[in-house]
Structure 1
Amino acid sequence: MQRSSLAALVAIAGLVAACTVEQTRSPDTSEASAMGEKTPSLSRYTVEQDHAPIKGIVAQNVPDAEVRPDPILPLGNGSPYVIDGLSYTVLKEYENYSAQGIASWYGAKFSGHRTSNGELYDLYKPSAAHKSLPIPSFARVTNLENGKSIVVRVNDRGPFHEDRLIDLSYAAAVKLGYMEKGTARVEVEVIPVPGVQDRRDPIYGDYRFLQMGAFGDEALAAALRAELEPLLSAPVFVSPVDIGGRMLYRVRVGPVDDARHLVAVQQILDERGYQPGQPLP
């Protein structure tokens, strides 16, 4: 199977606008700076204005983010960082963080593009962008106008507007009841997660694997494995798992020798257009 065919199967499809809202995310140059990357092409996003997806979601179908001790890695946590001439600092002591301010949301324009820690933005997940909270971290966001709340996972930087405190995903904005309005006054309270401080490794700690995808079709998993094996100096394998009676075939890379090897493998994958998920122990 051709590389392009597999990519088409696992990539997030482009979404047609159902409505147009004010753009709340930073421009490409700002996002690149927050990630510590070179400035990307201005053609990175296919549309100028952000918008809701054509496939909507209802509030009751938006879950809270799963709170877990994700390691705080260097990517996305460079501090201080400069956006449009202004300097921002990532908080080292943040467990008692609580603030009130204006929340906006971002949607289909950014769907499938990388967040500040290299993950792919999924507008249907309960995530958020914040200027100073470590990535990733977890927070409860409460809409002060109606009392609705949601737990989100902060995995991006922004919004870089003086009057904005936090940018929520499209799904989180639906859950809080302000998606159509565009903004709302909210309270953001960090949820402390035991064990996170022990996982502030300068590179990647004990993470030795990368997951490249999970497929319901074993043949697709095998095809991706065959594509990756000639490119990498680390093993590539298919790991089957039973999820509620349904078999999934996970394609994984590793184990790697050490943290530097892991970074090198990630770089090769990125250069070839593959998009690995978060490192695994």
Structure 2
Amino acid sequence: MIYNRKCILLTVIIFLFIGIGQVTLAQDNTQTQTGAASWYGSKYHGRKTSSGERYNKNDMTAAHNTLPFGTKVKVTNLANNESVIVRINDRGPYVGKRIIDVSEVAARKLDMHGAGVANVKVEVIELDGKAIAAGDPIRPNLFTIQQGAFTSEEMALEQTKKLKAFDKNLQVELKAEKIEGKKVHQVRIGTFESRQHAEAFNELLKEEGLEGLVRES
């Protein structure tokens, strides 16, 4: 049982780190993606999005799995060349290989409301309030697991040893920061391309009492 769990754990680690490398490379090389887009409307109207905002089907917004919240992108329907500019404020889509979920009003302007899905081009035009020039690198939001914060460096190192004993291939970072004038040693685990991956890995750590808090890295 322990051997099987270790094998699964190692497979997850390898998959996550390979996946991170591929996503980062793709975003660094270009600000443009092409693929399937879908939309979401009345069913989700008023619900809280991943950014904490309430979804409004009449706002020009969209969900994307890696771009930072607040990023503005131009979405072009490749079938009719209709374009809209939307702001990323949610995560998704989680169906197949779709690359973006646009709001209902954006879907209508793209003339994809009836079809439900369209082949689109997504171009990043503004990041963190700044216009993006061609060739500028775009990095997705990455996540880590903060396993603990200690005023004692010795205790932090001891926790790091426990994590390495759990799995020697685990990426563990010890980072010192000043919080309210006091030096605090944070123990962070891994770098994940999505919150979902980090949460899944945190569940594995929970079995050993080593879970932490998932946060953006």
Query: Which TM-score tier does this pair reach, normalised by the shorter chain?
Result: 0.3 to 0.5
Q: What TM-score does the superposition give when structure 1 sets the normalisation length?
A: 0.37
Higher strand share: 2
Higher helix share: 2
Q: What TM-score does the superposition give when structure 2 sets the normalisation length?
A: 0.47
